[in-house]
Amino acid sequence: MTRLMLPDSVDIVDFIRRFVGSILGPNGDGTPPLPAAASKLDYEFFGGRDIQSRCSGFGYHMECMFESHPAWKHVGEAGLISARNGLEKYVMTKIADEAFKAVIDDEEDKRIQRRCRLLEFITPKMLDIDESVCNETVFSIAQDELRKINGYRSPGDKINCVTRACSLIFSAFKFVEGNKDKAAGADDFLPVFICVVLGANVPRLISNCEYIESYCNRNTMMTKAGYCFCNLRSAIEFILTVEASSLSIDKDEFDKLLRESEAKLQAKEKK
């Protein structure tokens, strides 16, 4: 992003400034400008209105500018990727509060958190996870990585938390004795990831997923990060819909454990 400091990039910098201003306004907090101040602005103030589609349009326009701009034409593909990621982080970090408001879903966030508490009785064995990859230390660190998602503002940084958690799980497969050269497939990986997501019980998980999906650059979603994010969505869907038939457990036993867990949870909620 240091290239943006060059004199030839002044038009790009000005475009970025006006876009951020159109969301945050002259006060820098998303509040509309006073009529007298609005007339002096060189951009139209929108605040959070249509912010998802506007961010998408901005990202596409910036990619086109980078690809054709004289100051950037010799940076190559790696340079363009770096510029795109750096720009996303810079802009989204600034407008994160307004952008998150547009996707936040308190009800779904509470629903998945309660569901994770309710299903705490699910064990790796019920998910048919090989004991050889049940590394509690790795699982714990992976859960910590997922929980860090709320500490970041840009969608790229948030999805990196998911990617790091997944990488830790893959390492558990890689270093199992006699399995160093065997890559874990989706059938092996997803059950372990479900176990990790259950244990992490990340606050605002659904809203964070919506935020990533709404604002993360589409090219990022075609990489390893996108694969990991798809697995997170799959894990969430499993947790929300799991029944005895999806697990290695007798239905009567599953129903019994679910009732007991529900009773305990209700007792805690009444306190």
What gap in Å lies between CA 210 and CA 161, rounded to an integer? 15
AA identity, residue 90: Y
Other Cβ atoms within 10 Å of 7 Cβ, number? 6
Residue range 70-119, pLDDT digits in tens: 877 778 888 888 888 999 999 999 999 999 999 999 999 999 999 999 99
What gap in Å lies between CA 129 and CA 109, rounded to an integer? 27
Pure H helices in the chain: 10-24, 35-38, 51-68, 76-101, 106-118, 136-147, 155-174, 186-200, 205-215, 224-241, 251-270
What gap in Å lies between CA 211 and CA 209, rounded to an integer? 5
- Residue that has been written with the tokens 């305990």 in this structure: 264
Angle, nearest 10°, between helix axes 106-118 and 251-270? 120
DSSP state string for 44-77:
---TTTTHHHHHHHHHHHHHHHHHH-TTTTTSHH
What gap in Å lies between CA 128 and CA 118, rounded to an integer? 20
What gap in Å lies between CA 221 and CA 215, rounded to an integer? 11
Residue range 218-255, pLDDT digits in tens: 888 989 999 999 999 999 999 999 999 999 999 999 99
How large is the average pLDDT for residues 15-31?
Answer: 95
How large is the average pLDDT for residues 184-204?
Answer: 89
Question: Using CA of residue 211, residue 165, residue 86, residue 69, what is the dihedral sign?
Answer: negative
More confident: 71 or 163:
163
What is the percent of the chain with per-residue pLDDT over 70, rounded to a whole number?
Answer: 96
Residue 1 has pLDDT above 70, yes or no: no
More confident: 8 or 122:
122
Q: Are 48 and 102 in contact (CB under 8 A)?
A: yes
Domains of the chain are: 2-101 (1.10.246.120), 106-270 (1.20.1050.80)
Residue 184 has pLDDT above 80, yes or no: no
What gap in Å lies between CA 141 and CA 168, rounded to an integer? 8
How large is the average pLDDT for residues 23-50?
Answer: 93
- Residue that has been written with the tokens 């799959």 in this structure: 234
- Residue that has been written with the tokens 């309660």 in this structure: 114
User: Is 144 in a helix, a strand, or coil?
Assistant: helix
For residue 73, the model assigns a pLDDT of: 76
For residue 185, the model assigns a pLDDT of: 62
What gap in Å lies between CA 254 and CA 26, rounded to an integer? 57
AA identity, residue 210: E
Enter the pTM of the model. 0.92
Other Cβ atoms within 10 Å of 131 Cβ, number? 8
For residue 90, the model assigns a pLDDT of: 94
Residue 6 has pLDDT above 90, yes or no: no
Residue 195 has pLDDT above 80, yes or no: yes
For residue 180, the model assigns a pLDDT of: 52
Instruction: Label residue 173 by pLDDT band (50, 70, 90).
Output: confident
